[in-house]
């Protein structure tokens, strides 16, 4: 019941309300007796501090083919209002490079970055689509996600009978995958592993390293349908990739257990190799900036220092995106 109340409260845009909701979750995580006083100053100030200059590399927004809690302009405005440095607009089915440019013209003073997700609607593993993204006005298409919702791994995991996009066959990456990775290297883009299996993700990173890709990230490594183990995440980090951990809804019933697993894995991998993001924008979840703030506060309460959280939410994602 408390978590349900927290989820409802997080729908509102208001720092004090956000912190109250976050505290409910933090108490459930088991980080000890929380004595944080939510007043007009202390609690909201903590959220404001963790969000200042933060970079969220995983924001969903309208326009889309499914309900979202806000459009891309609103997402940028809310992030800017909270002092954030940048957001990445992600869409599973079309490039957001042009949308990022458009949002930047409407909402200045915040970096808005886009990318392309190689699902069926863009032709799957389609080098031409990646090449085109690099030529879109502004050059703000920076991330190439390997297939997500249409990935062979995702479709198999959900036991669905529909077309999918493969990245490997018989333990080897497909030739067109290597072609895309070569383009990523040439244009200094970000290689994101998408919803590939954990082993496929490592194959992608090995190929990225072989071909000279400088920016790589394992997409929400511990989430379904990926389920990377700590040893696999360590290997990914050794290959030069950041490991992404997404907060999603901080008020969902499984949030305490998720955050505890994330915290344990991050300690074993090292914050210097990790990125925290929101993966929010779904209509039923908290707004991205609010949920992201609650996630960062939860990581502080889980025992990570201010410097560690800043590194994972500010420095590392800025480095990944090549922000100055």
Domain holding 218: CATH number? Answer: 3.20.20.140
Tell me phi and psi for residue 184, to 5 degrees. -60, -45
Residue 315: which domain range?
2-321
User: In this predicted structure, what is the pLDDT of residue 21?
Assistant: 44
**Is the model's pLDDT at 34 over the cut of 90?**
no
User: In this predicted structure, what is the pLDDT of residue 60?
Assistant: 98
- The total domain count for the chain is 1
User: In this predicted structure, what is the pLDDT of residue 96?
Assistant: 98
Lowest model confidence (mean pLDDT) among 29-38, 250-259, 268-277, 281-290: 29-38
- Say if strands 190-192 and 172-173 run parallel, antiparallel, or are unpaired: unpaired
Long-range contacts, 169-178 (Cβ 8 Å, 24+) = 173/203, 173/204, 173/207, 174/125, 176/125, 176/126, 176/127, 177/125, 177/146, 177/204, 177/207, 178/207, 178/211
Q: How many CA atoms lie within 13 A of 265 on its CB side?
A: 27
State the pLDDT confidence band at 14, using cuts at 50, 70 and 90. Answer: very low
State the pLDDT confidence band at 41, using cuts at 50, 70 and 90. Answer: very low
Cα-based torsion angle of the residue sequence 103, 313, 118, 189 in order, rounded to the nearest 10 degrees? 80
- Kindly report the pTM of this predicted structure: 0.89
Distance CA 299, CA 294 (A): 9
Distance CA 153, CA 85 (A): 33
Lowest model confidence (mean pLDDT) among 10-19, 153-162, 307-316: 10-19
User: In this predicted structure, what is the pLDDT of residue 43?
Assistant: 60
**Is the model's pLDDT at 15 over the cut of 50?**
no
- Give the residue-averaged pLDDT of 32-49: 48
3-state secondary structure of 321: helix
State the pLDDT confidence band at 47, using cuts at 50, 70 and 90. Answer: confident
- Give the residue-averaged pLDDT of 8-14: 37
- Distance from CA of residue 13 to its chain's centroid? 21
Greatest Cα-to-Cα distance within the chain, rounded to the nearest angstrom = 59
Report the candidate in 298, 297, 291 with the shortest Cα–Cα distance to residue 58: 291
Distance CA 88, CA 111 (A): 8
Render pLDDT for 90-144 as a digit per residue (tens, 0 to 9).
999 999 999 999 999 999 999 999 999 999 999 999 999 999 999 999 999 999 9
List alpha helices for 70-151, DSSP H: 72-81, 97-106, 127-135
Contact yes or no for 49/83 (Cβ under 8 A):
no
Report the candidate in 15, 28, 14 with the shortest Cα–Cα distance to residue 252: 28
Render pLDDT for 128-185 as a digit per residue (tens, 0 to 9).
999 999 999 999 999 999 999 999 999 999 999 999 999 999 999 999 999 999 999 9
Render pLDDT for 262-310 as a digit per residue (tens, 0 to 9).
999 999 999 999 999 999 999 999 999 999 999 999 999 999 999 999 9
Report the candidate in 253, 298, 228, 279 with the shortest Cα–Cα distance to residue 23: 298
User: In this predicted structure, what is the pLDDT of residue 44?
Assistant: 75
**Is the model's pLDDT at 233 over the cut of 50?**
yes
Distance CA 123, CA 129 (A): 8
């Amino acid at each position: 019941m408390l978590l349900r109340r927290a989820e409802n409260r997080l729908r509102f845009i208001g720092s004090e309300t956000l912190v109250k909701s976050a505290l409910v979750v933090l108490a459930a995580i088991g980080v000890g007796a929380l004595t944080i006083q939510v007043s007009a100053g202390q609690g909201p100030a903590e959220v404001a501090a963790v969000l200042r200059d933060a970079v969220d590399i995983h924001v969903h927004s309208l326009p889309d083919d499914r309900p979202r809690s806000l459009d891309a302009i609103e997402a940028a405005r809310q992030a800017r209002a909270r002092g954030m440095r940048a957001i990445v607009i992600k869409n599973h089915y079309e490039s957001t490079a042009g949308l990022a440019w458009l949002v930047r013209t409407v909402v200045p003073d915040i970096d808005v970055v886009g990318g392309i997700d190689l699902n069926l609607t863009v032709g799957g593993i389609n080098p031409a689509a990646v090449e085109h993204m690099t030529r879109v006005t502004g050059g703000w298409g920076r991330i190439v996600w390997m297939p997500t919702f249409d990935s062979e791994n995702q479709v198999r995991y959900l036991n669905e009978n529909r077309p999918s996009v493969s990245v490997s066959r018989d333990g080897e990456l497909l030739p067109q995958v290597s072609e895309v990775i070569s383009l990523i290297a040439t244009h200094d883009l970000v290689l994101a592993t998408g919803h590939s299996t954990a082993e496929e993700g490592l194959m992608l990173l090995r190929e990225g390293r072989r071909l000279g890709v400088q920016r790589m990230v394992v997409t929400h490594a511990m989430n379904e349908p990926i389920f990377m183990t700590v040893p696999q995440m360590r290997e990914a980090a050794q290959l030069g990739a950041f490991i992404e951990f997404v907060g999603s809804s901080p008020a969902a019933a499984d949030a305490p257990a998720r955050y505890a697993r994330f915290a344990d894995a991050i300690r074993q991998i090292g914050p210097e190799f990790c990125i925290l993001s929101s993966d929010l924008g779904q209509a039923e979840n908290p707004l991205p900036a609010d949920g992201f703030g609650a996630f960062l506060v939860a990581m502080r309460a889980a025992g990570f220092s201010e410097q560690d959280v800043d590194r994972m939410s500010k420095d590392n994602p800025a480095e990944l995106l090549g922000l100055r």
